[in-house]
Amino acid sequence: MADIEIKRGYEVLPDNNVRFGIRVTNSSDAAISEVEVILDFNESLFELEGDKLQTLGTIPPAVPRTAKFILKPRGCIHKEEIGATVRYKDHQWNRRSVEMRPKEVHCVCPFLKEKPTTRAEFLTLAASGYTEERGINFEAIEATKVVDFLLHTCHNRLFLVDDVLIENGRIFYLAGDAVGEKAYYLLTAVVLEREDIIQVLLRVSSDKRHGLTGFLNELMENLRHLVSSVARAREIGIINQRQVITIIDSVVQRTTFATGSEGAPSVTIKDSVVQRTEIKADEAAKRRRREEEELLRREQEGRERLRREEEEQKEQERKAREAQERKKQERLRKEEKEARERRAREKAEKKKREQASLTRRKRPLSGSPWPSRRRR
């Protein structure tokens, strides 16, 4: 039975690279050493950043260690298996090798064609399936220019289902079909102008999970590239995912919400889709502050928990090293004692043999060597 437990997973990064992680946990009662992870992948499909062999060193009992690899796909990847081999020495210094169960990897930038559909059908499909959201801020560029770039990015690939004008912005619904497979991809895009900042909020939906990240990454990258081509225009930050979800949901549900303090103009969504909701400026500001405070609190707790885990891991490693050193010293003392006892036995045996040999040499003869004469 193997002394380790292996878990594996991956995520598609914003640049469409794949971060592949292999977590090795020592499930035995003793430390294992010289742990190595060797990645097994198709080099015609991926380009690896760094070495395919990573060393995790000594792992104490019940302690997990993770090897992380960055793979750059050479094209769209779907149902490609990535494997690995984990090698280590057990507590008896015997070399072991375990083959990891392969993991399917998907990194798809789907080829799309326009999908003519109605707004009602779009909203029905968007409410089901899988979704991902992301947002980005731009500065020193006009909202109309960003809209032109967005539509140019989607041209010939996505069908413009609807274009809704809102105060300080616009909402676009776009739909597409994947070429070569039966799957739909929907895009809800919101472009908002707030003071000197243009916010672009994107939500993608599909009945296939594996293509969502690649689809969204490709849209974001194309939009960044087009905006960067305009003089002085620049990206100034990624919008928090929770904010993206909140804003897009509010917009889709025909929400009236303020863009600043009391008295500032509000954004009113026309043509009700689901329901009407109003969020006052003060309430929205308080909610944002609460969300930010909660986010900071969680980040602080996460850092504190990570620090404690690192300290516990270091303490476990120290105890494991001490236990291993004690076992080593005990083994050496035992071997030394056995060697002394063996030498003593050999010396006693040798002395015993020498005494026996000397005794045989000194023993008197039992009779005369000359034949006795018989008297007449």
Sorted by where each begins, the domain ranges of the chain are 4-107, 112-286
Q: Are 147 and 138 in contact (CB under 8 A)?
A: no
pLDDT of residue 175: 94
What residue spans of the chain are helical by DSSP H? 119-126, 143-154, 212-228, 241-252, 281-362
- Give the C-alpha separation, 243 to 255, whole Å: 15
Q: Are 172 and 162 in contact (CB under 8 A)?
A: yes
CA-CA-CA-CA torsion for 199, 202, 155, 123, nearest 10 degrees?
-130
Tokens found for residue 37: 């992870």
4-107 carries CATH number 3.30.70.250 = no
Residue 356 DSSP SS3: helix
Q: Count H helices and E strands in the chain, helices first.
A: 5, 19
pLDDT of residue 351: 86
Residue 346 DSSP SS3: helix
pLDDT of residue 176: 92
pLDDT of residue 270: 42
Contacts of 159 (CB under 8 A, 6+ apart): 114, 115, 116, 117, 174, 175, 176
- Give the C-alpha separation, 86 to 185, whole Å: 39
HSE, CB side, 13 Å, CA atoms: give it for residue 334. 6
pLDDT of residue 187: 94
pLDDT of residue 103: 93
Nearest Cα to Cα of residue 317 among 32, 121, 97, 68: 32
pLDDT of residue 32: 93
pLDDT of residue 204: 92
Nearest Cα to Cα of residue 318 among 89, 31, 23, 24: 31
pLDDT of residue 78: 77
Q: Are 161 and 122 in contact (CB under 8 A)?
A: yes
165: amino acid identity, one letter? L
What count of other Cβ atoms lies within 10 Å of the Cβ of residue 281? 16
- CATH H superfamily, domain 112-286: TATA-Binding Protein (3.30.310.10)
Which regions in the chain score pLDDT beneath 70?
Answer: 1-2, 252-289, 291-296, 298-299, 302-303, 306, 362-376
pLDDT of residue 352: 86
- Give the C-alpha separation, 274 to 255, whole Å: 10
